[in-house]
Structure formats: structure tokens, C-alpha cells
Structure 1
């Protein structure tokens, strides 16, 4: 696996809606900018060898890094694959939509839910939103949120940005009623 760089972003929200947040809201993102393992090969029918060669290593690299950056227990999480213009969205999906990748994060965060994801193709500097959900109950509304990410020089046409995001809490100042009140 060829990693060009790792990018870490930590956001700490201290006020929201004109009021101080009771406990600062922390969100961390760690992204690896990697060479697309299928770049330059034309249409690849069987993506399995590339998945086997790279997905677990990416999960093992990113999961502890994002939790270290968060510096608090994760309550919400998500993932992303942003493919450069010479790749297919399926290339990014192949790397992140496998237990070989996601189980590293689930185990490290003591999570049980599926990781919400974004996949897209774009040029260097494309903005993307990583959706986050609660780590053990995807119906908890307070933890449905997104974090916007942009890496100015990535992905190059033959690269993929693979990212994990974690939040130490739900949305700051959340006040929606539980889903059960509408059922």
C-alpha cells in the first residue's frame, strides 16, 4: 500500500446557537491519501486481490489514529472513500465496505453498528461530508451529524482518500425528541 500522506483534523466546538456548549464537542478525522491499487488497469472485474492486500492494513492504520486524535471515547463514527478522477467509485467502496476494514474501527471503539459512509469521485480539493451515527444504536438522533473535510491536494487522479471520523458526543445543543416519540 502506497500512502502519500496522512491528514488529521480535530474540531472542537465551544459555542453553538450563541450559547456555550456544556462540554466542548470534539470531532476528529484521519485520512490516508493512497495510490489507487487499480489505477491504470482499465476495468478490473475482480477487485478481491486489492481488497485482500489493502483493506485491513488501512483499517489498522486509521482506527487507532482517529481515536488518538479524538482524545476521548468515541460515541459516533463514520467513514469515507473519495476516488480521484481516473478511478471508479467502486474502487473506494471496495476498500471501505468490507469487515476487513471496518472491524478495526468497531473493535477499537467498542461499537456494534454499521459505519455510515460517503463515497464519491472528485478532483483534488473536493469537499466531502462524512456522516456520523451512534456507535451502538443508529436510531439515536442526537448523534446523526456530519463533518466536512477537504484536503487541498488530494486525491490526485490516480489516488483515493480513505478517512475515518469519530465524535465524542452528539450534536452540540441537540434538542430533538427521541425517535420513539414518533412511532
Structure 2
């Protein structure tokens, strides 16, 4: 299953253009599972991949699919960090230039 060819170029660049000055990588996940499987979609900060307060995931799934001839694409976004985060590291307010983008 090659998710890069399906999403990153057409979807990733279009999403970055729409969001504006998004610098961080677009986190992704892929899974081959049985009917009704759940997928954890990773989340991160829009401008610095190593801002730990924004490390999170959203669980998604469709109870009746996807069927054998279908594929599920899911996009998850948030407008802030995890509630009561306490992981330390680079803080969102301390991002400068290319911080957190290795």
C-alpha cells in the first residue's frame, strides 16, 4: 500500500497552499485491516514537527467498510495542542524559523 503516491503530492501540497505558511511535515498513517478496522490518524503542529504539545492522534473508522474495492482517505486537523499537555520540549510560542524541521 503506497500512501505517498495517493496523498502526499496532490493532497499535501494543496492542503499547505490552503493553510498558508505550513512548514512541518504532514504526518500520516496507513493500515490494511479487516472490515470495520479503526485507524489512528496522527496529528502534529503546523509549523514545527517537534512541538510535543501537539503530538496526538484521532481514531477514525467506518463500521461498514471500507469494502474490498474501496479505500478510506481521512484528513484530521485541530486548532490547538492537547488539553493539559505536559511533555515539555519545544513550545509553540518559541518556534523560530526552521525549529523542529529536520
Give the TM bin, normalised by the shorter chain: 0.7 to 0.9
2:80 — aligned with what?
Answer: 169
Structure 1: runs of 5 or more not aligned: 1-88
2:13 — aligned with what?
Answer: 103
2:48 — aligned with what?
Answer: 137
- Larger relative strand fraction: 1
Runs (4+) of structure 1 exceeding 4 A deviation are none
Distance 1:150 1:105 in 2: 22
User: 1:78-119 CA distances to partner (integer Å, 9 max, x unpaired)?
Assistant: xxxxxxxxxxx12x442113x222111112222121210001
The partner residue of 2:23 within 99, 105, 112 is: 112
State the secondary structure of the residue aligned to 2:10: helix
Between structure 1 and structure 2, the one with the greater Rg is 1
Structure 2: runs of 5 or more not aligned: 92-102
Q: CA deviation at 1:179?
A: 4.5
State the secondary structure of the residue aligned to 2:50: coil
Provide TM-score, normalisation by structure 2.
0.79
- Larger relative helix fraction: 1
Distance 2:46 2:26 in 1: 8
Distance 1:108 1:175 in 2: 31
Distance 1:93 1:124 in 2: 23
User: 1:10-49 CA distances to partner (integer Å, 9 max, x unpaired)?
Assistant: xxxxxxxxxxxxxxxxxxxxxxxxxxxxxxxxxxxxxxxx
1:151 — aligned with what?
Answer: 62
User: 1:26-78 CA distances to partner (integer Å, 9 max, x unpaired)?
Assistant: xxxxxxxxxxxxxxxxxxxxxxxxxxxxxxxxxxxxxxxxxxxxxxxxxxxxx
Distance 1:93 1:155 in 2: 19
